[in-house]
Structures are given as structure tokens and as C-alpha cells.
């Protein structure tokens, strides 16, 4: 427990000093998998809550057809997709980070987004339409911060130069597309196989 | 034994009758409307079929189609293009007169002084009644002229031929006409890309009016920039989309419609400069059907408006040829209702050509079915239309009352919530206004109401807020003080 509080304090240090902190996480084991998982869970919960409780003026979601599971999947799936594709590509580029490091990196980088999302959600309930753009701008700070942490974290953990990192990110995008393509292919093929099996078995049962 | 049989028979008949009742309930037509997200939701139609005008009312005169309808006073004027006739009905839908050959005041067949031939209509397409001057304007399309009759006895007043000073490429084939209070004549020529032709009352050409802007395609623009002069000459010219119908309101604004798919706007309210000043404050632009994926709205094709009909209170009806629907918008451009569909059954439209208001009733003509349907407002439609009128005239309390009743009939009537909310906002009852704007999904007005609500809240709780602020200031000052004290040690 004491270790956990210690790691949480280190998380606060991380979001302000990403270069040093991610180096320490990678090589001195300052990262905490449990804390990272907790952050991911927290992130998806915040996504669900802000879907519903963002103030009416800024909230254009059809609440009557809200689906929390879908929101969680949409929030978390791209992160895992990024992790896997970046990891698989960076090995080719001599990247040093393991999938575990990437997991911690992504989760820790989400911390500013979580906090700022909660603040914007609360603020959106007390603003009018003219002020909504300010809140929106404040919200983008979170996203930019997240992107900055991700970028610096990737450079330090993989021990990349700037150029290498950008190249890897481009390759990551391609890899992600390939992964999505394979997933879709797999699912459609599986659907056909399952269809085939069910029709055969139905036929079999009717004839028997 | 016998009683038992009777009982069984009774049960059977009751069951059969029950089914009938259920069936009758199912036949009540349900239509759709669009909610804020652009998805179809169930709705009740404003209008139901009341009467049909078809060849039974015509007597010996053949009827080959109905192409334009206008209602003024107690008369209904319907143009039959194929038979080249103007048929006039009274409000009981009985034929009063049918004009093909025009007579002069003496009762003889009129002679055109220019061509020395008899004045006979040839494929006319439009009719307009000028109430002030008691004149009937007939767009005699086949003869390329406008025939003006006396409204009282249907005798010839004068003829307007193609003006000598007319410029441009548009051929003078008047299709639809409107005349304003100071007798300026506006003429629509089908597929005329230069705009509406404006004539003086004497028939002198004044100008082309109201240019319809085409949509600019980015790719098209790019290729046009790249092309050489010779290639450009070969390319198809982007012409301004043409108008197809015209109507004039009390204030002298010209309403025009187009169904050209390349047009940016579909419905126009033209100011004297020829700019479109149509109010489009609804959740959706005035374009009729949205492309929608819900099962409720079956169509996938955009609306093609062929006619527009205006009321005194700014509400207007648009006729969609593509899907046989009538769209009713209020003066703010909010979609109030959609009704009608394509089909061959009674009351369904096949090739609708024109529509007009007759008091609160709507008359829609159908070319292919050779008839005109008269639709009467339903209870729900009546309430909504009266409310729209009251709101337009500034009687907000009355409008609210009527709309609350309308909502009790149909809870999906989204724009009613907004209208009710607006009247509460006007009374500075912010709490209730917010409630209604939320139901009506109107974020803009919700924000206005919330602004008022928030400032009242701040005023009421100013003591607490001020105390909180003082607490924060004191806290910060104290911590600073302690920090400095520590530093000094």
C-alpha cells in the first residue's frame, strides 16, 4: 500500500517531468502495473460518466440510446491497438521498450486527460453557449498534454531520436490499419464458417 | 343446448368485431418527423383526406390532368395543360366555368389584335389571381404569352406577348406567374437559368431577378483551373439552377422553389434585391427529407419540390414530387409536419403537381391520377396550425395553451416544446423554459434560459459566493505568510 502511494506520487512527477520519469520507469522499474490498470479503468469510467453528465449545452449525445459497454470499448480499444502495433513495429526499428513498458506509458499519459475531462464535465454544467468554446479549448489541453507525454515517453523508452520516432509512428499507423483489416477479415470469415456449420447442423437435424 | 350455441355464436361474433376494431385502429396513418439527431420518429399527420375533385365534377368536359391550382376567395382555379383549359370550381367543388376559348366583353370570341387569330389557350401551365385588380393571369405557355382575364365574367382584358426589349437567352415561355401589389409581373420559365423574369404592368421587360447559386464543387474548381482554354470550351458549363415555381406573400416577398440537385438552396424567399432571406432556424435546413437510415423513413432520395403554398401567418407547405409528400414549415423554418405518400390508393399521390391552401384545407393536384385531393386538418393539425398563427401574431399565451394540448396528443412534436419554452423565456420563467428547451432539444435557447437562471442563482446566493471567495483569499494569504515565516527561520 505504501509502495502504491509512493508510485502515485511518482505518477504526479511523471506528467510534469516526462523525460526523466519515463527513463526511470523503463530502466529502474518505477512503473506500477496495478496503478496503470487502475488508470485505464478510471479513464473508461470517466468517459462513460462524461457521456451522460456533460451539461446539456455541450452534450449532443443521444442519451436514450446510451451503451456504456460500447463507450468503454471505443475508449480503450484504440489504446490497445496503438500499443500492439507500435510494439510490433518498433522491434523492427530497434526500439527498446517492451509491451509492458508501453502499457505503463499509455496509462500514465492518460492521467492529465482523466483529470481535465472531469473538470470540463463539471464546468460544462455551469456555462452558457458563448462560454462553451472556452471549456472546449480547456479540454483540448488535456489531449495535447496526452500526446506530448506519449511522444516524449516513446522517444525515451525506445531510445529513439526524434526522426526515428516520427518514422516509427507513421509505420505504427500502417500497422494499425493492417491489424484492423485482419480483424475484419477474420470476423467475416468466422461469420461465414459459423453460418456454414449452423446450416449444416440444421439440415442434419431436419433430415434425421 | 341452444343457449350454449347462441353463446358460442355471440363469442365468435364479438371476437370478429374486436378484430375489426383493432384493424380500424391500425389504419390510422402514422407518419414521421425528424428529431434533433436527424432520425425519423413517429408522428401524427396534420391533414387527412376530405374530398376529391375528379372528372365526376366536370360534367361533359374532358379532364386530362391537373397542373396548377390557385384558390382565391370562394373559387378554385385549376389548370389542365393537356386539354388547354382553365377550370373554375366553387367551394362546394362544383364546376362554374371552363375556359379554353377566350371571349371578349361582348360575348364574342376574342381576336388577338397582333396575330388576327382567335384567342385560344394552348398548353397553359400556370394561373395567378390578382385579387386587387380582379384579374386572372394565365401563363399561356404554348402560345408564349400571358392572357389576362377579368375575374368577374372571365372576359379578355389584355394579352402580354414577349417584350421587345427582352435580353438574354431565356425563351419567353411563361410557366408560372406571380404579380405583386404594384402590378409587377414575375414569370418563371422552366429551365431558364437566368432567373425570374420581371415585367412592368404594361409588359415591358425590367430585369432578371433572383439568381440561384449553384453548389461549388472543389474538385470541379480544381480541374477548371488546370484546364486550358480549349478544354474549358469543351467542358459543360455550370449553369445557375432554374426555378420551377413561384408564390408571393402579403409583404411582397417572392417565394420560389427549385428541384435542381445542383442548387445550394431549395426554397427561396427573395427580397427586392433578389437575395434569399428565408429563415432557416430549425434544426435542419429547409430541404425536405433528410437522408436517413431508420426504418421509419423508407426513402433514400432527396426531396424535389414542385410547389409552395403560403399562409397569412408565415407557415408554408412544400410539395415533394419525388416521394409524394407535403412538408409543412413554420415561419422560422422549423419542420412542423410531413404527410402524404406515393401510391395509387385514394389520397396517395402519384405525380403531384401543385398545392394551395383553401382556408385551413390543403388542395393538392395530381397529374397522373387526374384529380385534386382536398385535405382537411386533423384535430392535432388544427391545434398546431392555430398555435403557429397565434405565435406569429405574438399571442404567446394562446399558442402555449394550444401547443400543450397538441403535445398531449403527440409527445413527439419536438418543435412545440421549443415554442412553449420560448414563451416561458419571454416571461422570464427560466426554470420552466429550460425544461421545455431540453425536451425540444434546442441548445441555443436553452443556453439563453440558463443564462437568466444562472444570474438569478448568483444574485440569490451572492453572500455564500462572496464568503467563499474571502475564505480562499484569506487562506492563500495565510499560507504565504506561514511560508515566508518558515523561510526566515
Instruction: Identify whether residues B317 and B217 lie together within a single domain.
Output: yes
**A7, A34, B90, B145, B170 from B128: Cα distances, Å:** 83, 80, 16, 14, 21
Q: Say which DSSP state A126 is in.
A: S
pLDDT given for residue B24 in this prediction: 39
Q: Is residue B470 part of a domain?
A: yes
Give the DSSP H/E element, type plus range, for residue B222. helix B218-226
- Tell me the pLDDT tens digit for each residue of B339-371: 888 888 888 888 999 999 998 899 999 988 888
Q: Which residues of B touch A132 (CB under 8 A)?
A: 447
Q: Tell me what the mean pLDDT of segment B121-144 comes to.
A: 89
- DSSP notation for B157-214: EEEE---TT--SS----EEEEEE-TT--EEEEETT-TT-EEEE-TTS-EEEEE-PPPB
The answer to whether B435 contacts chain A (CB < 8 Å) is no
Instruction: Identify whether residues B218 and B311 lie together within a single domain.
Output: yes
**Of B343 and B471, the one with more pLDDT:** B471
What is the CATH classification number for the domain harbouring B324? 2.120.10.30
B45, pLDDT greater than 60:
yes
Closest chain A residue by Cα to residue B438: A56
Instruction: Identify whether residues B440 and B366 lie together within a single domain.
Output: no
Contact B337, B33 (CB under 8 A): yes
The answer to whether A29 contacts chain B (CB < 8 Å) is no
The answer to whether A130 contacts chain B (CB < 8 Å) is yes
Contact B151, B134 (CB under 8 A): yes
A114, pLDDT greater than 80:
yes
Nearest-angstrom CA–CA distance, B422 and B329: 18
The answer to whether A64 contacts chain B (CB < 8 Å) is no
Task: Give the CA count within 13 Å in the CB-facing half-sphere of B277.
Answer: 9
Beta strands B371-377; B361-366: pairing state: antiparallel
Instruction: Identify whether residues B215 and B350 lie together within a single domain.
Output: yes
**A95, B281, B285, B290, B337 from B276: Cα distances, Å:** 61, 14, 13, 21, 23
**A179–chain B nearest CA distance, Å:** 29
Model ipTM value: 0.82
Instruction: Identify whether residues B244 and B314 lie together within a single domain.
Output: yes
What is the CATH classification number for the domain harbouring B481? 1.25.40
Q: Tell me what the mean pLDDT of segment B168-197 comes to.
A: 86
B28, pLDDT greater than 70:
no
Q: Is residue B426 part of a domain?
A: yes
Closest among B22, B115, B125, B36 to B334, alpha carbons compared: B36
Contact A128 B448 (CB under 8 A): yes
pLDDT given for residue B30 in this prediction: 59
**A50–chain B nearest CA distance, Å:** 18
- Tell me the pLDDT tens digit for each residue of A58-73: 998 888 889 999 999 9
| pLDDT bracket for residue B295 (50, 70, 90) | low
| pLDDT bracket for residue B20 (50, 70, 90) | very low
Largest Cα–Cα distance in chain B?
Answer: 121
From chain A residues 132-151, the ones with a CB under 8 A of any chain B CB are 132
Instruction: Identify whether residues B433 and B344 lie together within a single domain.
Output: no
Task: Give the total number of structural domains in chain B.
Answer: 2
Closest among B149, B140, B134 to B120, alpha carbons compared: B140
Residue range of the domain that includes B461: 400-489
pLDDT given for residue B23 in this prediction: 42
Residues 6+ apart with CB under 8 A from A123: A135, A138
Contact B450 A130 (CB under 8 A): no
Beta strands B305-310; B316-320: pairing state: antiparallel
The answer to whether B443 contacts chain A (CB < 8 Å) is yes
Grid cell at residue B21: 376494431
Instruction: Identify whether residues B291 and B164 lie together within a single domain.
Output: yes
Contact B399, B410 (CB under 8 A): no
pLDDT given for residue B1 in this prediction: 60
**A11, A31, A167 from A110: Cα distances, Å:** 11, 14, 23
Nearest-angstrom CA–CA distance, A104 and A125: 33
pLDDT given for residue A188 in this prediction: 96
Q: Tell me what the mean pLDDT of segment B109-132 comes to.
A: 86
- Reduced to 3 states (helix: H, G, I; strand: E, B; else coil), residue A97 is coil
Residues 6+ apart with CB under 8 A from B334: B281, B282, B283, B415, B418
Grid cell at residue B87: 377550370
**B442–chain A nearest CA distance, Å:** 9
Mean pLDDT of chain A: 92
pTM here?
A: 0.81
pLDDT given for residue B238 in this prediction: 65
Residues 6+ apart with CB under 8 A from A77: none
Domain positions in chain A are 2-207
B21, pLDDT greater than 50:
no
pLDDT given for residue B287 in this prediction: 84
- Reduced to 3 states (helix: H, G, I; strand: E, B; else coil), residue B363 is strand
Q: Is residue B382 part of a domain?
A: no
Contact B288, B306 (CB under 8 A): no
**A72–chain B nearest CA distance, Å:** 22
Instruction: Identify whether residues B328 and B459 lie together within a single domain.
Output: no
pLDDT given for residue B27 in this prediction: 40
Q: Which one of B446, B448, B451 has the shortest CB-CB distance to A56?
A: B446
Distance of CA A148 to the CA centre of its chain: 14
A161, pLDDT greater than 50:
yes
Amino acid at each position: 500500500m505504501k509502495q502504491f502511494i509512493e508510485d502515485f506520487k511518482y505518477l504526479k512527477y511523471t506528467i510534469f517531468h516526462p523525460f526523466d520519469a519515463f527513463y526511470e520507469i523503463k530502466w529502474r522499474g518505477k512503473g506500477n502495473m496495478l496503478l496503470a490498470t487502475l488508470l485505464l479503468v478510471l479513464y473508461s469510467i470517466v468517459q462513460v460518466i462524461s457521456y451522460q453528465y456533460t451539461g446539456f449545452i455541450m452534450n449532443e449525445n443521444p442519451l436514450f440510446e446510451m451503451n456504456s459497454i460500447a463507450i468503454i470499448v471505443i475508449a480503450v480499444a484504440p489504446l490497445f491497438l496503438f500499443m500492439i502495433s507500435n510494439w510490433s513495429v518498433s522491434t523492427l526499428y530497434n526500439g527498446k521498450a517492451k509491451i509492458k513498458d508501453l502499457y505503463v506509458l499509455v496509462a500514465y499519459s492518460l492521467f492529465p486527460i482523466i483529470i481535465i475531462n472531469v473538470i470540463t464535465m463539471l464546468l460544462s454544467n455551469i456555462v452558457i453557449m458563448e462560454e462553451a468554446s472556452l471549456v472546449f479549448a480547456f479540454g483540448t489541453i488535456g489531449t495535447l498534454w496526452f500526446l506530448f507525454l506519449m511522444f516524449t515517453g516513446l522517444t525515451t523508452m525506445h531510445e529513439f531520436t526524434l526522426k526515428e520516432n516520427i518514422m516509427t509512428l507513421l509505420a505504427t499507423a500502417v500497422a494499425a490499419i493492417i491489424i484492423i483489416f485482419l480483424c475484419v477479415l477474420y470476423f467475416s470469415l468466422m461469420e461465414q464458417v459459423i453460418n456454414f456449420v449452423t446450416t449444416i447442423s440444421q439440415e442434419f437435424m431436419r433430415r434425421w | 343446448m341452444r343457449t350454449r350455441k347462441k353463446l358460442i355464436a355471440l363469442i365468435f361474433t364479438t371476437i370478429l368485431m374486436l378484430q375489426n376494431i383493432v384493424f380500424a385502429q391500425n389504419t390510422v396513418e402514422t407518419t414521421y418527423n425528424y428529431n434533433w439527431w436527424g432520425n425519423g420518429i413517429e408522428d401524427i399527420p396534420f391533414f387527412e383526406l376530405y374530398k376529391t375533385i375528379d372528372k365526376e365534377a366536370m360534367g361533359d368536359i374532358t379532364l386530362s390532368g391537373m397542373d396548377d391550382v390557385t384558390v382565391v376567395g370562394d373559387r378554385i382555379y385549376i389548370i389542365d395543360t393537356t386539354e388547354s383549359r382553365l377550370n373554375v370550381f366553387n367551394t362546394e367543388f362544383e364546376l362554374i366555368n371552363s375556359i379554353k376559348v377566350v371571349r371578349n366583353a361582348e360575348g364574342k370570341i376574342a381576336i388577338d389584335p397582333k396575330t388576327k387569330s382567335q384567342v385560344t389557350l394552348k398548353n397553359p401551365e400556370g394561373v395567378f389571381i390578382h385579387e386587387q385588380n380582379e384579374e386572372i393571369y394565365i401563363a399561356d405557355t404554348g402560345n408564349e404569352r400571358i392572357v389576362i382575364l377579368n375575374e368577374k365574367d372571365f372576359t379578355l382584358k389584355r394579352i402580354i406577348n414577349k417584350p421587345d426589349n427582352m435580353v438574354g437567352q431565356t425563351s419567353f415561355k411563361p410557366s408560372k406567374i406571380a404579380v405583386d401589389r404594384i402590378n409587377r409581373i414575375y414569370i418563371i420559365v422552366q429551365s431558364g437559368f437566368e432567373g425570374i423574369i420581371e415585367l412592368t404592368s404594361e409588359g415591358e421587360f425590367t430585369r432578371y431577378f433572383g439568381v440561384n447559386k449553384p453548389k461549388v464543387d472543389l474538385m470541379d474548381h480544381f480541374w477548371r483551373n488546370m484546364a486550358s482554354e480549349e478544354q474549358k470550351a469543351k467542358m459543360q458549363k455550370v449553369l445557375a439552377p432554374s426555378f420551377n415555381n413561384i408564390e408571393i406573400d402579403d409583404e411582397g416577398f417572392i417565394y420560389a422553389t427549385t428541384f435542381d440537385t445542383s442548387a445550394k438552396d431549395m426554397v427561396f424567399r427573395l427580397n427586392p434585391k433578389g437575395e434569399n432571406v428565408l429563415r432557416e432556424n430549425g434544426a435542419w435546413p429547409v430541404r425536405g427529407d433528410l437522408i436517413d437510415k431508420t426504418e421509419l423513413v423508407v426513402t433514400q432520395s432527396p426531396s424535389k419540390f414542385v410547389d409552395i403554398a403560403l399562409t397569412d401567418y408565415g407557415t408554408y407547405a412544400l410539395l415533394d414530387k419525388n416521394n409524394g409528400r407535403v412538408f409543412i414549415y413554420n415561419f422560422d423554418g422549423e419542420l412542423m409536419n410531413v404527410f402524404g405518400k406515393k401510391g395509387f390508393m385514394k389520397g396517395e399521390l402519384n405525380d403531384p403537381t401543385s398545392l394551395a391552401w383553401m382556408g385551413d384545407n390543403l388542395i393538392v393536384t395530381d397529374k397522373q391520377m387526374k384529380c385534386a385531393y382536398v385535405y382537411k386538418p386533423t384535430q392535432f393539425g388544427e391545434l398546431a396550425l392555430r398555435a403557429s398563427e397565434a405565435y406569429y401574431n405574438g399571442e404567446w399565451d394562446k399558442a402555449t395553451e394550444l401547443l400543450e394540448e397538441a403535445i398531449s396528443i403527440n409527445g413527439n412534436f419536438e418543435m412545440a416544446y421549443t415554442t412553449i419554452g420560448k414563451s416561458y423565456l419571454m416571461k422570464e420563467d427560466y426554470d420552466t423554459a429550460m425544461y421545455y428547451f431540453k425536451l425540444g432539444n434546442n441548445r441555443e435557447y436553452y443556453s439563453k434560459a440558463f443564462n437568466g437562471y444562472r444570474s438569478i442563482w448568483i444574485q440569490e446566493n451572492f453572500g455564500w459566493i462572496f464568503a467563499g471567495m474571502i475564505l480562499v483569499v484569506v487562506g492563500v494569504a495565510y499560507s504565504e505568510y506561514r511560508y515566508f515565516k518558515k523561510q526566515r527561520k
